[in-house]
Each structure stands twice: as C-alpha cells, then as structure tokens.
Chain A
Amino acid sequence: METLYAITVGTLTACSVFLILRGRSFPIVIGITMLSYAVNLFLFSTGRLTVNELPLVGLSESSSDPLPQALVLTAIVIGFAMTAYSIILAVRVRGEIGSDEVNDSNYAEQEGQR
C-alpha cells in the first residue's frame, strides 16, 4: 500500500510542477490545485498508513493518529479558498490585460519605460 500511495503522491506532484512551470495562468491554476491534492495526501500519510483503525482511543485494539486528519481538513479549507481566489484573479488578469500569458511582451515594454 505504501508503494502505491507514494507513487500516487509523486505522480501528482510531478504533473503539478510541470503545469505550474507553464507560461499561461490557466495551467498554473490547475497545477496549483493539483499540488494541493498531492500535499493533502502526503499530510494524511504522516500519521502512518493503517487499515481498520479508528482515530479514537479504546474502540479498537490500536488507534490511528487523529492529528493529520485535522491538519488535512484545515489544509483543504485553506487550499479551497486560495484556489477560488486564484481562479478569479486569473480571469481578471485575462479580462484586463487581454492575454493569459504570465509574462507577455507588452509587459517587457512597460518594464523598459521605468
């Protein structure tokens, strides 16, 4: 199970890094969303991967660590808000500048005027 889990997290991270390094805002937003999935899975695994164990003391023979689950929940909520914000921002940039390239040529000209 550990190997499969590690491969999943690794693949997700690799794909998201590839997407984040693209030059347009839409793939970047998708990449960041994907990265947050990978991170959430990774955080979840820090309590060690176990099957059939409750995060409650006394109900099963051994109990799993409840803290990573709480951390993942917090990270999901924050990640969700950030994704929503970055999508709105990307749309706004697309609308006002007329291109969704992160560094477009107009920008370099404006730089030159400084």
Chain B
Amino acid sequence: MLANHLVILPILIPLFAALLQLLPWGDNPQRYRRIIGITASSLTLITAIWLVGSVQDEVLVYALGSWQAPFGIVLVADKLAALMVALTAVLALPVLIFACHGEDNLGSHFQALYQFQILGIMGAFLTGDLFNLFVFFEILLISSYALLMHGGGKLKLRATLHYVVLNLTGSALFLISLGVLYGITGTLNMADMAGKVAVLEGDDAALARAGGMLLFVVFGLKAALLPLYFWLPQAYANTTGTVAALFAIMTKVGIYAIIRVFTMIFGADAGESSNLAQDWLWWLGLFTIFIGALGVLGSRDLRLVVAYLVLVSVGTMLTTLSLGHTDAIGALLFYLVHSTLVTAALFLLADLIAEQRGKTASRIVKGRKMAQHNLLGGLFFLAAITVIGMPPLSGFVSKLFILEAARTGAQVVFLWPLILGATFLMMIALSRAGSRMFWHTFEGKPNETTHPKWQHASVVMLLLSAVALTVFAQPISKYTDAIAIQLTTPFEYISSVLPTGGPDE
C-alpha cells in the first residue's frame, strides 16, 4: 500500500510536518516543533533511501489523481531524481540538528519554513511536468526568501532584497518560456515535450529554441552561472550558517533542471533543436570557474570564501555537463554529491568559528583564540582539504573523474589548466584563512563562547559522508554512471511516462 505512494512521500512528509509545526503548541512550542522537525527529516531520509533502492530496475511514475500523462500531472522518480532526493535528505538532517541548538530561535517559524523549503526542493526533483516545476520552484523560493532573512539585520535585508527581485524577474522569464514552449508543442509534460520538440521544423523549431534558451537563463540564474551569479556571494555570506548550508542544495536545483531539460528535451535526439545549450555551458562554465577562483582568493571573510567556493563548483559541474558523454555526466554527478555535502559542512563550520572568535567574527584577520580551538581547527583542516580536492578524500576522487572525462585536445587544453589552477588558488586562499585564524592568534585567554556537542556532531556527520564517498567511491560512481546512461538514452524515461502512444521512436 505504502510502496505505491513511495514517490510522493518525500513531498508529503515535510508538508505535513510543516503544517503540524504551525499549530499553537502551548507555552514552549519550540520543543515540540523541533521533535516534529527531526522526526520528519529522519522519515524523509528513510523514504529517500528506500526510493533509491526501488528505482534500480525501473522508472517509477506516480500519476496524481490517476490522470494519465500527458493529460495529468505526473511525478517521476528515475535514478537521477532519486539521487537528488537522497542527497537533500542526507543534507537536511544534520543541518536541522545543528539549527535545533539555538539558531532556530533567532526568528519565528524557522522550523516550518525549513520543512516547506525541503518540500519545494523535493518536488522540483520529482516532478515530470514543466509547469509543476515552476510551482515547486516558487514554493522553495518563497520559503528561501523568508529563511534568508532569518535573524534579521541590515546586511541580510539588503542581500534578501536583491535575491527576491532577481528571482521574481527569473520567475517571470520562466513563465514566458513555458508559454512559448506550450504554444509550440501543446504540452507541458517533459517526456511528451521531448517527443514533440524533436519533430519540429523551421520557424516552430526556432521558437522552441528561443523558449529553451529562456529556460536556460532561468535555470542559470538559479544555478548561479557566470553573468547571473551576482546575487550569490552576498546572499550566502550574510545569512545564518544553517540557512547557507541548506542553500548548498539550492544551486544544485538549478543544475538538476539544466541536466534534465537539456539532456532530455533539448538533448542529442532533439532534431533541429539538439544540443541547444552545449556551447553556452562550456564557455560560461569555464568563466564561472575562473571568476569563482578569483573571488575565493580575493575575499577577506571566511563566509565569502565559502560562497565563492560554491561558484567554482557550479562552474566545474556545468562545464563537465557540456562534454555530454556518459563518463562526463557520471563524473559531474559524483562531484555534485561531494561538493554539496562539503560546502554545507564549511558553512556550518564558518558559523561556529565566527561565534567563537567573538569580535573579529569570520573576517580573515588575527584574532583571539577560540574556546574549542583544536577541535574546530581539525575540522576546518579536514573540510578544506576535501573541498580543495587534495588526496585522499572525496574531492580528489571526484576531480580525478572530471579530468579523465575531458577527451579531445581542445577540452583538455581549456579544462585542465582552469580546474587545476582554480584548485591551486583555492589551496592558497584556504591555507591563508586557516593559518590566520588558527595559528596567528593573540596571546592570552581564549574566548569563552563554546558550542554544544551536537553542533560539532552535525559538521562531523557531513564530513563523514564525504569520507564515505571516498571509501565507497566504486559503488557510488557505478550508480552515477548508471544515471548518466539513463540520461543519455532518455527513451526509458519517456516510455515509462507515456506507456501508450509515446514519441515516434
């Protein structure tokens, strides 16, 4: 019974948890809200793992209200969607545990907003309908607007204003592109649209390409691709650590949407519109890596450094995507998992470091010793070598996969120097930050602020998953390669969604 509805559970659990958390819970509501939140996130994690197990042999399709595609809205769980859902769940639980030790008291209804955010992210990963994707984008955006301001303060307000205005404009563009694509193809179901776009010719194909490029702009804005990334550093650097850590998955929603739309609808088999975004992805991705690396080097604040690290990872992923073959997509997905977990850990760590340093906060200057100096230093060291990509942890493995994926001469000439150069700049920036904050401290008594064990534990949990990613690199890369094969041959997805009268293949 429950297994039939497995696909919708990652959406329903956070929804009901958030609704429960909004009820009045008496004099001390936060305690109950935390219990509900942690229970819900654990349940989501269990369902996500169950989902990954069940999509190994088939693509699960859940027709809402039993209205069959392409007329009804469907949720589709293929291997990629299951991976992203599992990644979100693995990220959400430790971050929530971290938030439950004080940060959720900085503003009202943090817990409910957190669950709504998870709901939107899960929905965006699971839906098989473009308009439904827009709706889930709006759900995750409106909770992110509120979460970004969590805790208040002028800097946060201003960063939020920029973020809101940009994303509202992005939503308008999204609707325009949906209008164009619906006007041409007469469908919003992604699998159905893939078949319809492939047979377009002449002017119709040109219009569909215009719609596709508009979608690319929208997803590029979400993913923080080069000319559209300006909102990211300020927004991520000024918000609280937990929110920034949760937002580590938000750019990946944009990347997921790019992967989905530009491998299936505008992929290799799309007739006149085939490989629409390939060249754009390649050049913009390379420039994003470059600018991100410069940003890492030029930032004088640890949080800003981590925000630019997100930018470097976005560039790396999209450049790798543009290579297009299965090995590249497999490598990109492996890197995606690694970078999400480790940047989240770094954002949480930056929060701990900033609070324990007192007045100097997260600025990279000489300051007082921290109360839990060695512990934080050790964790920072571990997180830094992982994110830079030095052996032996997951960063190294995933960068190796990406470098191997570059095949032709031109690809190697551009990709290798940029990725290795960015790695070098990241190493300089992070070792400078680490030595300033942990070694060049003032003499005398350390600060008194300490943090509870559970907050360290949640950072350790995130870092341990990076270690697990190294230890189990082979089975995981096998799974990401299987995803890549499913993505480059979208027939399985399309025929599962449209069992009768599918595309003309």
Residues of A within 8 A of B (CB): 20, 25, 28, 32, 35-36, 38-39, 42-43, 45-46, 48, 67-68, 71, 74-75, 78, 81-82, 85-86, 89-90, 92-93, 96-97, 102, 107, 110, 114
Which A residues are in CB contact (< 8 Å) with B171?
Answer: 78, 82
- Check B157–A78 contact: CB distance below 8 A: no
- Number of A-B residue pairs with CB-CB distance less than 8 Å in the complex they form: 78
Q: Are A97 and B172 in contact (CB under 8 A)?
A: no
| Residues B299 and A71 in contact, CB atoms below 8 Å apart | no
In the bound complex, residues from chain A placing their C-beta under 8 Å from that of B133 are none
Q: Judge whether B175 and A75 touch: CB under 8 Å.
A: yes
Contact A46 B165 (CB under 8 A): no
**Contact indicator A89/B164 (Cβ below 8 Å):** yes
Residues from 157 to 190 in B contacting A, C-beta threshold 8 Å: 157-158, 160-162, 164-165, 168-169, 171-172, 175-176, 178-180, 182-183, 188
CA distance A65 to B420 in the complex (A): 54
A58 to B64, CA, bound (A): 26
Please tell me if the beta carbons of B164 and A81 are within 8 angstroms of each other in the complex.
Answer: no
User: Shortest beta-carbon distance, B187 to chain A, in Å?
Assistant: 9
Tell yes or no: B228 within 8 A of A by CB: no
Q: Is B138 an interface residue (CB 8 A)?
A: yes
Of all chain B residues, the one with the shortest Cβ separation from A46 is B183
Chain A residue, CB-CB nearest to B156: A96
Cβ B161 vs Cβ A71 within 8 A: no
* A102-B162 CB under 8 A given contacts A71-B131, A86-B168: yes
| B172 CB contact (under 8 Å) in A36, A67, A71, A81 | A36
Tell whether, in the assembled complex, residue B161 and residue A25 are in contact, meaning their CB atoms are under 8 Å apart: yes
Q: Given A32-B169, A74-B131, A78-B135, verify A46-B179 contact (CB < 8 Å).
A: yes
Nearest residue in A to B304 (C-beta to C-beta)?
A: A114
A-side contacts of B176, CB under 8 Å: 39, 42
Chain A residues within an 8 Å CB radius of B145 = 85, 89
Contacts of B180 in A (CB 8 A): 46
- As a 0/1 sequence over residues 259 to 291 of chain B, the CB contacts with chain A under 8 angstroms (1 = contact) are 000000000000000000000000000000000
Q: A81-B142, A86-B168 are in contact. Are A96 and B157 (CB under 8 A)?
A: yes
B35 at the A/B interface (Cβ < 8 Å)?
Answer: no
Residues of B223-277 contacting chain A, CB below 8 A: none
Q: Which residues of B contact A (CB under 8 A)?
A: 131, 135, 138, 142, 145, 154-155, 157-158, 160-162, 164-165, 168-169, 171-172, 175-176, 178-180, 182-183, 188, 299-301, 304, 363
Question: A42 touching B142 by the CB < 8 A rule?
Answer: no
Determine if A32 and B172 form an interchain contact, defined as CB atoms under 8 angstroms apart.
yes
Contacts of A43 in B (CB 8 A): 175, 178-179
- B residues near A71, Cβ cutoff 8 Å: 131, 178, 182
Closest Cβ–Cβ distance, residue A89 to chain B (whole Å): 6
- Supplied contacts A20-B165, A68-B182, 17 more A-B pairs, CB within 8 Å: A32-B165, A32-B168, A32-B172, A35-B169, A38-B172, A39-B175, A43-B179, A46-B182, A82-B142, A82-B171, A86-B164, A89-B157, A90-B161, A92-B157, A93-B161, A110-B155, A114-B300
The CA-CA distance from A80 to B504 in the complex, in Å, is 41
> Is the beta-carbon distance between A82 and B168 smaller than 8 angstroms?
yes
**Most chain B beta-carbon contacts within 10 A, residue among A46, A48, A107:** A46
Pick from A36, A78, A89: contact of B160, CB below 8 A.
Answer: A89
The 8 closest A-B pairs by CB, nearest first: A46-B183, A46-B179, A43-B179, A39-B175, A114-B301, A35-B172, A39-B172, A32-B168
A85's nearest neighbour on chain B, judged by CB, is B145
Tell me, in angstroms, the Cα distance from A13 to B154 when the chains sit together.
32
Q: Knowing A93-B161, A97-B158, A114-B301 are in contact, say whether A78-B363 is a contact too (CB < 8 A).
A: no
A38 and B175 CA atoms in complex are apart in Å by: 10
B residues in contact with A102, CB < 8 Å: 161-162, 165
Q: B234's closest neighbor in chain A, by CB? A: A111
Judging by beta carbons under 8 Å apart, are A114 and B169 in contact?
A: no
Once bound together, how far apart are the Cα atoms of A38 and B178, in whole Å? 14
Give the interface centre of A20, A82, A86 by most chain B CB atoms within 10 Å. Answer: A82
28 A-B pairs within 8 Å (CB atoms) are namely: A32-B165, A32-B169, A32-B172, A35-B172, A36-B172, A39-B172, A39-B175, A43-B175, A67-B188, A68-B182, A71-B182, A74-B131, A74-B135, A75-B175, A78-B138, A78-B171, A82-B168, A85-B145, A86-B164, A89-B160, A90-B161, A92-B157, A93-B157, A93-B161, A96-B154, A96-B157, A97-B157, A107-B158
Instruction: Chain B residues near A92: list those with CB within 8 A.
Output: 157
Cα of A114 to Cα of B182 in the assembled complex, Å = 46
What residue in chain B is nearest A28 (Cβ atoms)?
B165
Residues from chain A with Cβ under 8 Å of B363 in the complex: 114
Q: Chain A: which residue is nearest B131 at the CB level?
A: A71
Shortest Cβ gap from A51 to chain B (Å): 18
B131 cross-chain contacts in A, Cβ below 8 A: 71, 74
Q: How far is B299's CA from A107's CA once the two chains are assembled, in angstroms? A: 17
Q: How far is the CB of B11 from chain A (nearest CB, A)?
A: 17
CB-CB < 8 A to A107: which residues of B? 158
Question: In the complex, what residues of A have CB within 8 A of residue B142's CB?
Answer: 81-82, 85
**Could you tell me the distance between the alpha carbons of A81 and B141 in the complex, rounded to whole angstroms?**
12
**Within 8 Å CB of A25, what residues of B?**
161
CA distance A102 to B231 in the complex (A): 13
Give bound CA distance, A25 to B168, whole Å: 13
Kindly provide the distance from the CB of A7 to the nearest chain B CB, expressed in whole angstroms: 17
Q: Which of A74, A75, A90, A97 has the most CB of B within 10 A?
A: A75
